Structure 1
Amino acid sequence: MTTTASRPEATAAGPDAPAARIDTDYPLTRVPLSARQGWFGVLVVVAGFLFFTPTMVTGGAVAGAFGFAGFVTLAIIASIVLALYVSTMGAVSARTGLSTVLLARLVLGRVGGKWASIVLGGTQVGWYGITVGIFANLLASALGWDVSWPLAILGGLLMATTAYWGFKGIEILSWVSVPLMLGLCFWVMTLSVDEVGGWASMWATQGDGSISPGLAITMMISTFISGGTQIGNWTRFSKKATTAFITCIGVVLAIEFAMLFFGGIGAIAFGEPDFTNLLLGLGLAVLAVFLLVFNLWTTNDNAAYAFGVAGAELFGVANKRPFIIGGVVIGIALAVTNVADAMTGFLVLLGTVIPPLGGAVIGTFLFTWRLRDPGTHLDTVPAFRWPGVAAYLLGTAAAFFGSLTGIGSPALQGILVAILAVPVADAITRAMRAPAQTVEAA
């Protein structure tokens, strides 16, 4: 394995433009070993990212369809799948020091990898708009306002500030948000169990069967599949891949399930899948505003950081900040136009096109790079790496098949097919090159 600190690209984008002097978050290069962080800082940032109110809303929707017992089973499955996926993606970035969009460049090619920047950056802008909309509606309801757009503008601008500062700003905010939100969730759980008459009554609840199990798993995975695919934006600062894997799998299992669980149990008890509306209905407006503002802020500063990094790769600019500003403007516009109303369709779309990208990265890391950093200079990558492109397209086709037919879970199928397609596509590519090389030699 090549030492990241020894590579020219780890410290500079060119002879006259040192990347580290422009943006110390290394949006276009490997993170050098000298800039790596301790495991606890990475844990806090990832935990803050996972405390995501829309995940609770999705948990509420699924719980209403299956009842508590069925919902808990599906939530466990979704959390395990997501944890394995996210932790593996995190380990790949920790091993290489590369963000997800830069990994995609190595896997799909210099041009092919631009698709990753577009889809990952674009979906994070969409999530930014959804989260700003939730924030604005919550605060407007608490204040008794009839309009929420001024709050969407104000909140959208404030949420971008910590992402603009970089990794350290996100970590500091997460230290405040995570314990506050966890306390609120346990309080709501206690109220919910009391409302239905105890745990025995909660386990006996039934759903209306309006969602298939495969779609339910995809919806729950999709609440964090875009962010989870980009977990490398933060784990690339980890000192060891093993540490990143263990940290991510523990945090994702605990917090993703907790978010789904707390959202579901509140929906079953009070008949309200929207956690924000539930808190307001319980007369907890002031507390809800205070705590959820911090929760939504930690999620959105991570989203802004992610689309900033994606924009830097897409346009080849060694500075994420202009793209944070541009994405925030678009996200605010989406919030003002109530994009959150289309959340379910958006989640299904994310669960179709994004997981195969992570599957192609994981498959390449396992079967082609064999758990090592390939050491490839980012500027010498060919326009397209056809094995990676083929694996991604096959995974996407499998995900779309599941989405259209209702068979299985589209997200899971997309990941697995893309992973397994990598060694097959690699073998076919080598077989096709062999006759051409023989002719040239002759």
Structure 2
Amino acid sequence: MDAEQTSTANDDSQDFPLSEVPLSARKSLGSLCVVLLGFTFFTATMFAGGQLGVAFPFWPDLALIVLAGNLLLGVYVAILSLIGSRTGLNTALLSRFGFGRIGARLPDLILGFTQIGWYGWGTATMAVVLLRLLGVDAEAAPALTSTLIVVFGMAFCWTAYIGYRGLELLSLVSVPLMILLLAVSLWIAIGDAGGLRGLAAISPTATLGIGTAITIVFGTFVSGGTQATNWTRFARKPSHAVWGALAAFFIGNGLMIGTGAIGALVYQQPDIVDVLVVQGLTLLGIVMLVLNLWTTQDNTIYNFSAVGCTALATDRRRLVTILGAIIGTILALMRIDLYLIPFLLMLGTFIPPIGGVIMADYVYKHRGTYPAIATARLPAVNIPGLAGYAFGCLVAYVSPGVPPLNGIVTAIVVYIVADKLLSPRKSGASAR
């Protein structure tokens, strides 16, 4: 009995990386919203919004792009979050059903790489932007920049090392402050533009395709959104998971994109840091930067730890968290932060089909019910899942319109068709 209690306590402290989250460990809607909002309040989203703000007039183009992109993202994440809540499983474990025990190594690798990439981006950005706000050129002080990168790279993983509770406590502090900063920055920007009428009269100075713009919006958090089940599996009710996802990925991410876009449109400056300086918010910007990036960085490395534990078949989530932070810090030292937009476009193409496969497998093949992960008889490779993912990526890469949506729909359709072709119904199946 003592050994069993010790094992349970260990699972609890490690946040159940290889099993379903039991009902006794579920969290409230408020807790879930705070953690998810802390995740989506991300400086990179404001930078991405800045790229849109200089390319489109405010009304109706920019407003509709921000609305459409975030609505698409919110619905996508809400569906996955619902599945995570009902099953108690994270994305890495859900992939075992859709892709197979060995086949799931592919989404593990892709999702793990993207989260480490985001961690490296955020860590480098923290050091570089902080120095800029303090009037120091990061390129002229490479030793100081590298030192800050290492310090932040190790510091950011601390709350993720603690687990869900650490993420929640930090977000409780940072989310209200971030909302305050967004409100102040928007108020100043709209005032400087001469109100909404003046905002609508500003002409863009750059060009960008609408499909590409929506892909950038969707790509800001499609990787994190695909892994939102890492937290929504803690939801007490499926409805909590859905509302928490919409609050964070539709409303929260929309506010970040919108603030960055409007600031860029008004000041014709796509860099949100420069916008804050122009607005006289340098000190507030420093506070925002630290809290903003920290709440996303710890969630990002927490995502990596969930994928890493499943891929390595270990429940030592805290050790995997530290290893992931070290790899991410190395990428930061290599200045991965210089490639944000290409990175976002890549994520918007190759990540959404993973979610499409999970949706199709859960809803179509398993009819909304999974067996316990510990006793499930899973194939080594699930061909329909791999086929759905491959064709989803291909269509997203070559098709016009909105690539992320095209990739999701294609993955679902191909999964269903391939499953029917490879697993024909027995003649008596319909009679049972």
Distance 1:378 1:27, change over 3 A: farther
Alpha-carbon separation, structure 2, partners of 1:267 and 1:112 = 43
- Give 1:118's match in structure 2, choosing from 100, 109, 112: 109
What SS does the corresponding residue of 1:283 show, helix, strand or coil?
A: coil
1:246 equivalent in alignment to 2:246: no
Shift of 1:157: 1.2
Corresponding residue for residue 68 of structure 2: 77
CA contact (8 A) 2:188 2:279 kept: no
Are residues 1:145 and 2:142 paired?
no
Judge conservation of contact 2:185–2:279 (CA < 8 Å) in 1. Answer: no
CA distance in 2, matches of 1:376, 1:301: 27
Q: Does residue 55 of structure 1 match 2:13? A: no
- What is the match of residue 422 of structure 1? 415
> For residues 421 and 21 of structure 1, do their structure 2 counterparts lie closer, same or farther at Cα, with a shift above 3 Å needed?
same
The alpha carbon displacement at 1:60 in A equals 1.2
Q: SS of the residue aligned with 1:65?
A: coil
The one-letter code matched in structure 2 to 1:85 is Y
Structure 2's unaligned 5+ residue stretches are 428-432
Instruction: Report the alpha carbon displacement of residue 131 of structure 1 after superposing the two structures with TM.
Output: 0.8
Q: How far did residue 20 of structure 1 move? A: 4.9
Matched, 1:159 2:156: yes
Q: Cα deviations across residues 153-194 of structure 1 (Å, max 9, x unaligned)?
A: 111111110000000000000011111111111111111112
**In structure 1, what is the Cα distance between the partners aligned to 2:397 and 2:133?**
41
Q: Does 1:194 align with 2:191?
A: yes
Q: TM-score, normalised by structure 1?
A: 0.90
Q: Indicate the residue corresponding to 2:124 in structure 1.
A: 133
Q: Check 1:195–1:259 CA distance in 2 against 1; reply closer, same or farther (3 A cut).
A: same
Q: Identify which of 393, 403, 413 aligns with 1:410.
A: 403
Instruction: Tell me, in whole angstroms, the C-alpha distance in 1 between the residues paired with 2:105 and 2:8.
Output: 20
Provide Cα deviations, 1:310-355, integer angstroms capped at 9, x if missing partner.
1111111111122211111121122222211111111111111110
Quote how far apart the aligned CAs of 1:64 are: 1.1
Q: Is the 8 A contact 1:140 1:151 kept in 2?
A: no
- With over 3 angstroms needed to count, the CA separation of the structure-2 counterparts of 1:274 and 1:400, relative to structure 1, is same
Q: Is 2:105 the counterpart of 1:108?
A: no
2:322 paired with 1:331: no
**How far apart are the structure 2 equivalents of 1:210 and 1:199?**
22
Of 112-121 and 221-230, the range deviating more from structure 2: 112-121
The offset of 1:243, in angstroms, is 2.2
Judge conservation of contact 2:54–2:269 (CA < 8 Å) in 1: no
Shift of 1:284: 2.4
Query: Identity rate of aligned residues, in percent?
Result: 36
For these two proteins, the number of residue pairs brought into alignment is 418
Question: Is the contact made by 1:20 and 1:26 (CA closer than 8 Å) also made in structure 2?
Answer: no
- Kindly indicate whether the alpha-carbon contact (under 8 Å) linking 1:19 and 1:318 is maintained by their aligned counterparts in 2: no
RMSD of aligned alpha carbons: 2.1
For structure 1, which segment, 203-212 or 300-309, has the greater mean C-alpha deviation from structure 2 after superposition? Answer: 203-212
Aligned: 1:260 with 2:253: no
Instruction: Return the alpha-carbon distance in structure 2 between the equivalents of residues 251 and 118 of structure 1.
Output: 25
**Which one is further off, 267-276 or 300-309?**
267-276
- Cα distance in 1, alignment partners of residues 426 and 362 from structure 2: 23
Look up the SS of the partner of 2:220 in the other structure. helix
Return the alpha-carbon distance in structure 2 between the equivalents of residues 280 and 200 of structure 1.
24
- Work out whether 1:290 is the aligned partner of 2:287: yes
Deviation sequence 1:28-60 (CA, Å, 0-9, x none):
111112211122111110111010111111111
1:24 is displaced (CA, Å) by: 3.4
Counterparts of 2:300 and 2:375, CA distance in 1:
24
The separation in 2 between residues aligned to 1:408 and 1:50, in whole angstroms, is: 25
Shift of residue 19 of structure 1? 6.5
TM-score (norm 2): 0.92
Change (3 A) 1:412 1:142: same
Report SS of the residue matched to 2:27: coil
> Which amino acid in structure 2 is aligned with residue 422 of structure 1?
Y
- Correspondent of 1:24 among 7, 14, 32: 14
CA distance in 2, matches of 1:325, 1:386: 34
How has the CA–CA distance of structure 1 residues 204 and 370 changed in structure 2, closer, same or farther, with 3 Å as cutoff? farther
CA contact (8 A) 2:53 2:263 kept: no
Shift of 1:143: 3.0
